[in-house]
Amino acid sequence: MTAIASRRSARTLSVRAGAAALGRAGRAVTWYVRELMGDTAYRTYLEHHAATHGAEVEPLTEREFWRGRMDEQDQNPGARCC
């Protein structure tokens, strides 16, 4: 009885550990893709803004930020290799 219970709990434990590992791997992949594709650029800007200007200067809104970023790319094209 107790042996079965402990075996069962051991199994739930290992299932849980597996699920946790999968969850961690999933979060890591999501983090990587979002960072790589640039989804987090606005947040990076806000953090930089808060760190350098504090609260006295209003940061750009998300829409303004992305427009500005695209306009800047218009002015400074980056090469893509072959």
Examine residue 14 and tell whether it contacts other proteins (CB under 8 A).
no
Find the binder of other proteins among 9, 12, 14, 44 (CB under 8 A): 44
Give, in degrees to the nearest 5, the angle at Cα 60 between 58 and 66. 170
CA 3 centroid distance within chain: 43
54 binds other proteins (CB under 8 A): no
Question: Could you say whether residue 78 binds other proteins (CB under 8 A)?
Answer: yes
CA-to-CA dists, residue 44 to 20, 35, 62, 78, angstroms: 28, 10, 12, 20
Minimal distance in Å, beta carbon 52 to other proteins?
A: 8
* By the rule CB under 8 A, 57 interacts with other proteins: no
